[in-house]
Amino acid sequence: MRRVGAIFTPYSPPEALRDAAQAAEESGVPELWLWEDCFRESAFAAASAVLAWTTRLRVGIGVAPMPLRNVALTAMEIATLERLFPGRLIPGVGHGVLPWMAQVGARVASPLTLMREYVPALRSLLAGDEVTTAGRYVTLDQVRLDWPPAAAPRVVVAGEGPKTVLLTGQVGDGTVLPGGSNPERVARTLEIALEGRADAGRDDSHELIVFVSAAFGGEAARAQLAEDLVRWNGAVDPALMVVGDAAGVADAIEPFFAAGATSVILQPREEETDLASFMAGAGEVARLVGSA
């Protein structure tokens, strides 16, 4: 099933989160995604608050940086939230922005090695297994969660470059693509992730989640989004001009689904101050896409 969600970006202060989350739920947004950007807001603290403030909203973490967090701690965080709010958390991990990781002394020499060791250990811990491993970065000695989830949630993994995307297919339950990814890149990413999945002998489903900048409104909104795209990418890709009323935005994201995305998560502009209106628009897009 195709899914639509929205992002509460850390460009808004933490005190704006409650109103945004409640507006998202009231507007029918199925999923609200959170970022753990340095040095703004913690992913799991924010996720626990959103889950407590709402009753139906699913919360995605897109994503928690692996170098910042011991894998056992990440498993404990996820397991606690999953037991408190069953089926409502979508945990995601990734390399983290490498310069930020360097700033805090957490940058690793081989992010791919870290991912290759970390994600399987995390998934095993969440499945309730006892894990012993001695890798370059992940070392566990007979570690088992006392309170594992009743059902282990699927763990999605962020990836951009071909080597990383291949690995997300091998070790993760889904791939997260950041903003700026057009439908052509979505299709290419899915192909590589599925190649990795086949290499690992896995035949279960693989999710592909893509973050897409969007703006609701008329010509002013269109001009603002175009300005953002030039600033981020150096040019305006017509495929990334996701702007208009809800029907227009729904039409604009259809090529992402056609390319293989299972979830399109709408990202407000950094300068967006009316998050309630953005969530209302995202909720209407979700209804339109769900009825397509």
- Please calculate the CA angle 166-171-175 and round it to the nearest 5 degrees: 60
Give CA angle at 215 (10, 53), nearest 5°. 45
Instruction: Give the distance between the most distant pair of CA atoms in the chain.
Output: 59
Q: Which domain holds residue 7?
A: 3-290
47: exposed, middle or buried (Cβ count in 10 Å: 0-12, 13-18, 19+): buried
The one-letter amino acid at 213: S
| Residue 171 pLDDT greater than 70, yes or no | yes
pLDDT reported for residue 204: 87
Whether 241 and 229 have beta carbons less than 8 Å apart is answered as: yes
What percentage of the chain has pLDDT greater than the value 70? 99
Predicted confidence (pLDDT) at residue 170 exceeds the cutoff of 80: yes
- pLDDT for residue 292 is more than 80: no
Contact criterion met (CB below 8 Å) for 227 and 215: no
Residue ranges of the alpha helices (H) in the chain?
A: 17-26, 43-53, 71-84, 98-103, 111-126, 162-171, 183-199, 219-233, 246-258, 275-290
**pLDDT of 268 over the 90 cut:** yes
Name the least confident of 31-35, 87-91, 142-146, 225-229: 225-229
CA distances from 152 to 25, 94, 148, 164, 263 (A): 24, 19, 8, 23, 20
Instruction: Report helix, strand or coil for 132.
Output: strand
- Tell me the CATH number at 81: 3.20.20.30
Q: How confident is the model at residue 1 (pLDDT cuts 50, 70, 90)?
A: confident
Q: In this predicted structure, what is the pLDDT of residue 233? A: 84
What mean pLDDT is predicted for residues 182-199? Answer: 96
Of 266, 265, 269, the residue nearest 231 (C-alpha)? 269
What residues contact 226, with CB distance under 8 A and at least 6 apart?
A: 236, 241
291 Cβ neighbours under 8 A, 6+ residues apart: none
Angle at 24 between CA 19 and CA 28, to 5 degrees: 150
Residue from 189, 186, 184 nearest 172 by CA? 189
Of residues 38 and 176, more confidence is placed in 176
241: exposed, middle or buried (Cβ count in 10 Å: 0-12, 13-18, 19+)? middle
CA quadruple 93, 96, 102, 103: dihedral, nearest 10: -100
Measure the CA–CA gap between 11 and 128, rounded to whole angstroms. 36
At residue 251, the pLDDT reads 97
pLDDT of residue 291: 57
Q: Give residue-wise pLDDT tens across range 111-162.
A: 999 999 999 999 999 999 999 999 999 999 999 999 999 999 999 999 999 9
What was the pLDDT predicted at 203? 86
Per the structure, how many domains does the chain have?
A: 1
Q: How far apart are CA 118 and CA 114, in angstroms?
A: 6
Predicted local distance difference test score (pLDDT) of residue 232: 85
Can you say how many angstroms the Cα of residue 275 is from the centroid of all Cα atoms in its chain? 19
The strand pairing partners of 83, in sequence order, are none
pLDDT tens digits, 201-216: 998 889 999 999 999 9
